Structure 1
């Protein structure tokens, strides 16, 4: 078996020299670059085992390229630089919208409307780059480089990722969340074993399209878990501080009462057996029990991406990981051969990506209003 180790350290994804992207580098952008460079000029680089950034998705704007260079050379100032970029982009978008509003009813109305639309699209691309680099920075903080494009790691259709980094990827989750994640991983690996071509117990085969779907679904699962745990924590705080019964608990109790009333109406027994009582009670301190008490609307709310930027990032990142140069590196029906540890590594990364995406999206939206999904 040929073991291919991840080549985490190369300079291709983070060019230090920024390329002109259409009219992106206008006079305001140049001023922003000078301010950012002034901010980081006196900073000293932190010693790190990461000599460069090897994320599968390359930045498309100067904002992303600038942050990529900072992550390689001066990672300690990246959050502050990203915040300045977000503020600058927010101001640029507001300026164009104000000029459009002032021109409404004048001959320049359509011109300023078009300028505002173009600026909004330009800013959205830059925002997505900033969000992506903030996610990569979170991986950097736990010392887990993102897996690069899989075509770099596959030889004769065989993929093996080393080191697995399971401990670091699991360290960002609490015990209850980690239990749910392990259930997810177990179910996925069993599904691949059951539905994929059989080789042996230590080797898996999965079609490329299925592989990409499972990875993207795991990102969404990580996003969902972050949303649920945040909601759960807030409801527990509210319950303790105000002695208030959370909505999910009330919903569960209401469903139980309605079910009992229906049974009584159709002549069913009015007594509830002792064996059925535990299933009707939601343990507010147990995350899994809390999730099981969700009604369909609450479940959909927690699972839905809040912004179109987040949706675009998942698509772009998954595309960059599984494909190369906008073309499939494998035919759709061809299979990738890998061991369970490599599959687990990728799924843990996807779940962490989804969790980090939720945090970054929440942070960015406070400075730069994102587009609703």
Structure 2
């Protein structure tokens, strides 16, 4: 609970301006709908005449009843009323989804801030323990709600590019076989730039080769992989998409800054490390340790691949690290929901899945897109509701 007290200052100083900024983006009409639906208490069953026509995508499966799924559906179901509200809103009135999501974030930020203020005011009184416990419960409640809101914002991004998310795989697997159709490769690749896409294709090729090399040899068009391995590969691909998004934004920012100074990006990075080395030397730091951080030279520092190759281990770790615990929880919850929801999966009950390379590629492309969207959503939400550091 000690971590809550400093956050009260953050909430009062940082969140209030963010709330006011977010409020300007939400329309009054959207807030009117929101209040009306809350009073009715039957949001998810409400149907609008002007509701957007649902997008369907066919998934080849041995179960005919499960051969179609909606673009706004996702393997992870919301566990809070905030998430359920946004889920129903996305299905019926997607044009006001973002305004409603902003309103939800502002309300959650306000609730957490108020509980912390009440606890601060009660410090030293007989009600100190009571308000401290209330603040703890509110913190946990808001975190779960924020995770659901973040997840629905990610689902909304898939909805915008008209790519349905793959549902729980247990609905699509029959006789241990999984086949997804259509692959939607073009749509999933369209969200990335050319340089990022080149790195993604190399990642997909290496994964498919690894699965084919380490799995039982059936034939060239069939892959066999243990479900536990599948979960790990999928989660790692989410992290890779998150990493590429972080690196590409960092690369563009550094190019913008260095072009104004007329210094190439890698030279600019070297200059920063040199200054750090000089500072450490001035206070008695080890020059050998500092020089070991110097990035190696690359052929083209303006190229994204060359930029990444110039990273020292510390910078590489910084770009790959998730910024919030909410993002970490979302990756875990989404991955397990997709692969069956059994978080107790072990080597004893780990069955194999048979699939073709195109289906594996479809899932990995979705995972990479999920990671990229997660970075965007995390950045947006953190401006309104201060997320927990990972």
Q: What's the TM-score, normalizing by structure 1?
A: 0.80
- Cα shift at 1:334: 1.9
Residue of structure 1 equivalent to 2:182:
163
Residue of structure 1 equivalent to 2:165:
146
Unaligned runs of 5+ in 2: 1-31, 57-69, 278-295
Q: Does the 8 A contact of 1:218 with 1:350 survive in 2?
A: yes
SS of 2:167's equivalent in the other structure is coil
Task: Output the aligned Cα RMSD.
Answer: 2.7
* Alpha-carbon separation, structure 2, partners of 1:75 and 1:327: 36
Higher helix proportion? 2
Residue of 70, 74, 81 corresponding to 1:55:
74
- Cα shift at 1:44: 4.2
Residue of structure 2 equivalent to 1:71:
90
Query: Deviations 1:118-174 (Å, cap 9, x if unpaired)?
Result: 001000000000000000000000111110000000000000011111010000000
Residue of 340, 345, 351 corresponding to 2:368:
351
Structure 1 residues 157 and 87, CA, compared in 2 at 3 Å: closer, same or farther? same
* Alpha-carbon separation, structure 2, partners of 1:360 and 1:93: 20
Query: Deviations 1:242-272 (Å, cap 9, x if unpaired)?
Result: 33454665439979xx9xxxxxxxxxxxxxx
SS of 1:205's equivalent in the other structure is strand
Residue of structure 1 equivalent to 2:333:
316
Unaligned runs of 5+ in 1: 1-30, 259-278
- Cα shift at 1:329: 11
Residue of structure 1 equivalent to 2:382:
365
Residue of structure 2 equivalent to 1:180:
199
Residue of 51, 68, 75 corresponding to 1:45:
51
Q: What's the TM-score, normalizing by structure 2?
A: 0.77
1:213 aligns with 2:219: no
Residue of structure 2 equivalent to 1:7:
none
SS of 2:270's equivalent in the other structure is helix
* Alpha-carbon separation, structure 2, partners of 1:113 and 1:282: 57
SS of 1:201's equivalent in the other structure is coil
Structure 1 residues 250 and 54, CA, compared in 2 at 3 Å: closer, same or farther? closer
Q: Does the 8 A contact of 2:266 with 2:310 survive in 1?
A: no
Q: Does the 8 A contact of 1:232 with 1:287 survive in 2?
A: yes
Residue of structure 1 equivalent to 2:310:
293
Residue of structure 2 equivalent to 1:108:
127
Residue of structure 2 equivalent to 1:192:
211
* Alpha-carbon separation, structure 1, partners of 2:303 and 2:365: 22
How many residues align? The count is: 320
Q: Does the 8 A contact of 1:56 with 1:147 survive in 2?
A: yes
Q: Does the 8 A contact of 2:266 with 2:301 survive in 1?
A: no
Structure 1 residues 363 and 43, CA, compared in 2 at 3 Å: closer, same or farther? farther
